[in-house]
Amino acid sequence: MKKVSVIVPVYNTKQYLKRCMDALVNQTLEDIEIVAVNDGSTDDSLQMLKEYEEKYPEKVRVLSKENGGQATARNLGIRECTGEYIGFADSDDYIDTTMFEKMYCLAKEKDCDLVECHYHYIQESEQGNKELKTRGNIREYSSQKDMFIDPQVSPWNKLYRREVLLDSGVDFPEGLIYEDTAFYIKTIPFVKKSAYLPEHLVYYFLRGNSTMNANKSRRVGNIFDVLKDILDFYKAKGFYEEYQQELEYFCTKIILCSSLSRIGRVEDKTIQTELLDKSFVFLKEYFPKYRENKYFTGKIGLYIKLVRRWNSRPIGKVLGKVMKG
């Protein structure tokens, strides 16, 4: 058994793939398995992966499948990997070469189910790179319930004990965007002990623009399916009552903050109206008393208590200008 397996979903990222793979095969942790999952790439990504597999047969495994999205690639990687711990990397980003040795050593030292490190958030443009403020309050968590409060949900700065993922039945919901959100939240009841490594070891890049075409605009509504996936999972596993307050806080904050900012950038007024209506229908159905939640205090609490359906459109427009992603 390898100490760490790193799952890398790959789809048409030949421009960035070499940088990503070089950082992985040159990790200071020697006992590592890199599971690269080619998700039906149509460029030269698969050929590049095969070259790494041939050059580093003791480290690199390449799996190939029809295109199905990042979630399907990660789920396949989880099923196929063999490491004691599982990490993730995005093929268009890269990591520090010491990352997995440091995270693994901390996981073993403290007998953790999860280790999380910090990261660099870099905006890439023709004018050059610019470091941005990172998302999420990455920190040492005081409890499992604390893990719901303003986290960074992405998997690429985390290391999970493999048994936690396999035994819990946690997966990435397929066919949806925002699947990272569901995966992270569903792991929480099974993470009995976690640790924080206060080093910026991931280089995460923001590329492209924020233009919302009709298809992308409608996919903003995937967040409702993602949140339902979370709630259904908690109910099925018998955790809902224990974490109801935290789930209410997390889901409400998603809908009225980051989701509302995305809706604010939707140019089609019909789609925008539909998404705004769905937001408040969701809250009324699942969390009708969310304004009474104990976690909504201070400025965020005041904001949550003031936003209504009638003023959500102008609020979303403002949020859409100041928030990205």
Note the pLDDT of residue 210: 46
Given a cut of 60, whether residue 293 has pLDDT beyond it is yes
Angstrom distances, CA of residue 221 to CA of 11, 136, 249: 24, 22, 19
pLDDT tens by residue, 131-160: 999 999 999 999 999 999 999 999 999 999
Number of domains within the chain: 2
Residues 185, 226: one domain?
A: no
Structure tokens of 122?
Answer: 């870099």
Residues 151, 247: one domain?
A: no
Q: Where are the beta strands (DSSP E) in the chain?
A: 4-10, 32-39, 60-65, 85-88, 94-95, 114-125, 128-132, 158-161, 194-206
pLDDT tens by residue, 54-63: 999 999 999 9
- Nearest 5°: CA angle at 20, between 65 and 81? 45
Residues 130, 279: one domain?
A: no
Note the pLDDT of residue 213: 59
3-state helix, strand, coil split of the chain in percent (to 5) is: 50, 20, 35
In single-letter form, the type of residue at position 292 comes to: E
Q: What does the pLDDT average to over 43-65?
A: 98
Domain containing 16 — which CATH number? Answer: 3.90.550.10
Note the pLDDT of residue 214: 66
Q: What does the pLDDT average to over 266-294?
A: 97
Whole domain around residue 15: which residue ranges?
A: 4-206
Residues 12, 63: one domain?
A: yes
pLDDT tens by residue, 161-185: 999 999 999 999 999 999 999 999 9
Give SS3 for 282. Answer: helix
Residues 164, 302: one domain?
A: no
Residues 228, 300: one domain?
A: yes
Residues 236, 112: one domain?
A: no
Give SS3 for 194. Answer: strand
Q: What is the number of residues in the chain?
A: 325
Contacts of 241 (CB under 8 A, 6+ apart): none
pLDDT tens by residue, 190-238: 999 999 999 999 999 998 754 555 678 889 999 999 999 999 999 999 9
In single-letter form, the type of residue at position 177 comes to: I
pLDDT tens by residue, 66-122: 999 999 999 999 999 999 999 999 999 999 999 999 999 999 999 999 999 999 999
Q: What does the pLDDT average to over 274-302?
A: 97
**Which of 187, 206, 225 finishes a domain?**
206
DSSP code, position 292: G
